[in-house]
Chain A
Amino acid sequence: MAEPVTAVQTVSAGKRPFWTEQRRSRLTAYTFISPFFILFAIFGLYPIFFTIYLSFFKWDALGPMKYVGMKNYDLVTSDPMFWTSFTNTLIMGVMGTIPQLIIALLLAVMLNSAMTRFKKTFRVLFFMPNITSIVAVTLVFSTLFGNNGMVNWLLHQFGMESMAFNSGWWGVKIAISTMVMWRWTGYNAIIFLSGLQSIPLDLYEAARIDGANRRQQLAFITLPLLKPFIVFVTLISTIGSLQLFTEPYVYLGQSGTGSTRQEGITMVTYLYSEAFRNGFFGTAAATAVMLFIITIIFSMINMWVSGRMEGDTGGGKA
C-alpha cells in the first residue's frame, strides 16, 4: 500500500515477471497448508464422493459394479429393519446424551468449586473411562447386565422383577445407553470444567456483593457464560450418538460377531452389516448417504435452537 505509484507503472509497462513477490508468498503459504488438503482429498473427499457414486450401484466388492439407479434407496427405505435402526439410534441418543450432559455439568461445577480437594485426581478419574477400550468396557458391562448379572441382582434387592437386558426392547437400550453415559460423562465434564474456568471470578464476587446466592449465581452467571461450551458439547454428542456402533455391536454379539438384534441395532451397525456381513456395498452406501443427510439435519436443528437461545438472553457471549 505504501508503494509509490510509479513503481507499479514501471512493472505493468515492462515485461511482468510471473513470480511476483505476492505470488511467491502465496505459493509458500499454500505449500505449507497443502499436506492437510492433499490428505483430506485422498482420505476425506474421495471416499465421500465414491460413496455417493456407489449408492447407485449394486456391488459385492469383488465382481463388477452394476448400475441400479435409485433401487438401493428403495430397498433401504422399504426395509423395516432400517427404520428400526433409525428409531433405536434416536432413542438411545436421547437416553445416552441428555442425562449424561446434566450429570457432566453438575460434576464440573462440583469440581470447580473451591471446596473440592484432590481436584487433579478427580480430573484424571473422570477422563479414564474415555481412554479405556470400548470393547473391553462392553464385555465388562455385558457381565453386569447378564441374566444373572449384578444389575438384575440389584433389581431383586429392591423387590423388582429382573429385566431381559439381552433381548428386551428397553432392556437392551438401557444397557447400551448406560455404557455410552459411563464413557462420555467424564469427558464432557472436563470440557465443561475448562469452560467454567474461563469465567472471570470477579463476576461471582460482584454477584455475591449484590447478595446473589449459589443457585442464582449458577443460573445467571455460570449457565449463560457456559453457553458456547454447552452448544459445542451438545453438537458433538448428537453427532456421536448418531454414529453409535461399537457398544451395540460388541454387546449384542458378545464376542464381536455383530448380531443385528433389532432391539439394539443402530444405523451404523445396520450399515456395517449391510457391507461387511451381507456384502451389499450398494445399499450400505445408500445408508451412509442417508445417515449423512440425517446428521446434517440434526446439526442444523441444533444450531438453530442454540441460535434462538442466544437471541433470548440477548447475546450472552463470554
Chain B
Amino acid sequence: MKRGKKWPMLLLSLMLTASLAACGGKSSTQDTQTPEKTTDNTTTQTEDTKKDSGEKVELSFWSLGTTNYEELGKEYTKEHPNVTIKFQNTSDQTAHHNNLTTALSAGSGAPDIFMLEIGFMERFIGAEDKFYNLNDLGAKDIAGNYLDWKWKQGSSKDGSFQIGLPTDIGPTVVYYRTDLAEKAGLPTEPDAFGKEIDTWDKFAAVAKQFKDKTGKPFADLTDLVYNGIRDQSEGEIYFSKEDGSFIGDKNPQVKKAFDFTVKGIQEGWIGNTLLWSPEWGQATNDGGFDVMLGPAWMAGNIKSNGPDSSGKWRITQLPEGAGNWGGSFLTLPKQGKHSKEAYEFISWLDDKENQLESFKTKGLMPSIPALYTDEAFTGFKDDFFGGQATAVEYGKAAQRVKPVYYGPLHDQVDTFFKDALKNVLEKKADPAKEWDAAVEKAKTLAARS
C-alpha cells in the first residue's frame, strides 16, 4: 500500500466512528425535531403577539394513559404563544415510572412535567431534592380547591413539601347488572340496591342468596372483593405510617378483607377468573356475575369489555364507605429548567374548568369537590348505565374516601395476599396456612428496606 493513501483511510474510519456515534445520539435529534411539529400550528399566532410574548419556552411533558392533555396543551399555547408543550405519552405505567427513575438517578433526561401515578408515589415522595416543592411555587394557595385526602397523598408527612398537583381520582363504587339482580329478586334501582348491601355482612348474605337463586357468582373475582375492603383501612394498610415497618398482619382491616374473601370463595359466590384476563372480559359482557367493585375509571373497562351489556349496568355505593384506587399527580422534576412556566401550565391544566373538560372527554374523575355539586358535572348522564347520572355516585364516593398510607412495598406485598387467596380458590389450599405464608413472604421482603 502506498503511503499517501492511508490518511484518507484513517479519515474515513474516523468518519465511520463519528457516524456511529451519531446513531447513538438519534433520540436527541428527534427531540429537537418533534417540537417543530407542535409549533407549526402556532407560528401564525406567534407573529401577531410577538411584542408581548416573553422568552420562548418549551415544556416537555411525560403523560400517562388516556387524557385530553394534549388538546388542552394546544389550547394553552394559543393563549400563551411563548409556551409550547411537547408530549410524550405512554400507557405502560411501570415503564413510565422506571424511565423517570433512570433519568433522576442519571442526572439528566427528566421532563419538565411528569405525571405520577399514586401507585408509584412512595417511590418518589421521599426524594425531595429531585423535585420542585410546589408549595414554593404557589400551590399552597390552591390546596383548598382539591379533595383533602387527595392533596395529602402528594404531600410529605409534615405537609411542607408538595410533590404534585392532583389530577384525577379513583373512588371505588359498586357496578352491578340490573338484569341479573332482577332475576335474583333484588331491587334494581341504585339507591335500593345500595341499601340492600350497605354492610359487608349484608353484602355476603345477598351474595349467597344470589348464588342460590341463579347459580352464578355474585362478585367477579377475588382481587376486587379484597381490594374493596382493604382500601377502607384506617390510615394505613400494610405498612406503618410512622416508621414504615410491616404491620399488615396486625391490621384488622386486612384480616377482615382476607377472611371475607375466603368466605366468598367457600360459599361459592366469588367467580374464578383473573383480573384483566380475556375470560373476565367475556364474563363482564355475558353476565357471568352480578357485581364488580371498582374505581371510577373501571367504567371504561366495563364499556370496552361488555359492549352487549349496554344499558344493563348501574352504579351504587360500596358497603361501609368508599376506597380509592388510582389517580395521578402532576409533578415538576428539578431537572426541568422552567419551573415557573411549568407550574403556571399545570395549575391551569388542573383547574376546575379543565378537570370538567377531562371528565367529559376522557372520563377522568375530578379531584375538585366543588365540581361534584356543579350542574355541568352532575347533569352528565351515561346511556351505558341506563341514563344514570354516574358522576353523582362517583362524587358521593369520592367524599367518603379516607386517606391511607401505602408505603413503597405496598404493591408487592399486596400480591402475596392476592396470590394466597387465589390458592384458596384454585388449589383449595388451607386459608390459615396461606395467610401465614403471605405474612412470612411480606416480612422477608420488608427486612430488606
- Contact yes or no, B279 A147, CB < 8 A: yes
Contact code string B340-382 (vs A, CB < 8 Å = 1, else 0) = 0000000000000000000000000000000000000000000
- Contact yes or no, B444 A167, CB < 8 A: no
Contact of A255 among B1, B273, B276 (CB under 8 A): B276
Contact code string A267-308 (vs B, CB < 8 Å = 1, else 0) = 000000100111110010000000000000000000000000
Task: Decide yes or no whether A63 CB sits under 8 A from chain B.
Answer: yes
Residue of A nearest to B437 (CB): A262
A7 CB, nearest partner CB in chain B, Å: 16
- Contact yes or no, B1 A25, CB < 8 A: yes
- How distant is the Cα of A262 from the Cα of B6 in the complex, in angstroms? 61
Give every chain B residue within 8 A of A273 (Cβ-Cβ): 412
- How distant is the Cα of A38 from the Cα of B444 in the complex, in angstroms? 42
Binds B, one of A29-37, A86-94, A176-184, A190-198: A29-37
Task: Decide yes or no whether B205 CB sits under 8 A from chain A.
Answer: no
- Contact yes or no, B272 A147, CB < 8 A: yes
- Contact yes or no, B412 A278, CB < 8 A: yes
B392-449, CB < 8 A from A? 408-409, 411-412, 415, 419, 422-423, 426-427, 441, 444-445, 447-449
- Contact yes or no, A279 B278, CB < 8 A: no
- Contact yes or no, B20 A35, CB < 8 A: yes
- Contact yes or no, B412 A35, CB < 8 A: no
Binds A, one of B81-89, B97-105, B135-143, B208-216: B97-105
- Contact yes or no, A75 B448, CB < 8 A: yes
Residue of B nearest to A164 (CB): B426
Contact of B101 among A62, A167, A261 (CB under 8 A): A62
Q: How large is the interface on A (under 10, 10 to 19, 20 to 34, 35 or more residues)?
A: 35 or more
With A62-B105, A142-B278, A276-B98 as given contacts, are A164 and B427 in contact (CB-CB < 8 Å)?
yes
Task: Decide yes or no whether B130 CB sits under 8 A from chain A.
Answer: yes
Give every chain B residue within 8 A of A28 (Cβ-Cβ): 6, 9-10, 13
- Contact yes or no, B105 A147, CB < 8 A: no
Task: Decide yes or no whether B126 CB sits under 8 A from chain A.
Answer: yes
Task: Decide yes or no whether A235 CB sits under 8 A from chain B.
Answer: no
Give every chain A residue within 8 A of B94 (Cβ-Cβ): 256-258, 276-277
- How distant is the Cα of A176 from the Cα of B90 in the complex, in angstroms? 28
Give every chain A residue within 8 A of B412 (Cβ-Cβ): 260, 273, 277-278
Task: Decide yes or no whether A79 CB sits under 8 A from chain B.
Answer: yes
B92-122, CB < 8 A from A? 92, 94, 98, 101-102, 104-105
Give every chain A residue within 8 A of B16 (Cβ-Cβ): 32, 35
- Contact yes or no, A62 B104, CB < 8 A: yes
Task: Decide yes or no whether A130 CB sits under 8 A from chain B.
Answer: no
Interface residues of A (CB under 8 A from B): 21, 24-25, 27-28, 31-32, 34-35, 38-39, 60-63, 75, 79-81, 139, 142-143, 146-149, 164, 166-168, 254-262, 273, 276-280, 283
Interface residues of B (CB under 8 A from A): 1, 3, 6, 9-10, 13-14, 16-17, 20, 24, 92, 94, 98, 101-102, 104-105, 123-124, 126-127, 130, 272-279, 408-409, 411-412, 415, 419, 422-423, 426-427, 441, 444-445, 447-449
A-B contact pairs, 17 of them (CB 8 A): A28-B9, A32-B16, A34-B13, A38-B17, A61-B102, A62-B105, A62-B124, A62-B130, A81-B441, A139-B278, A146-B278, A166-B422, A166-B426, A167-B427, A254-B276, A276-B101, A278-B448
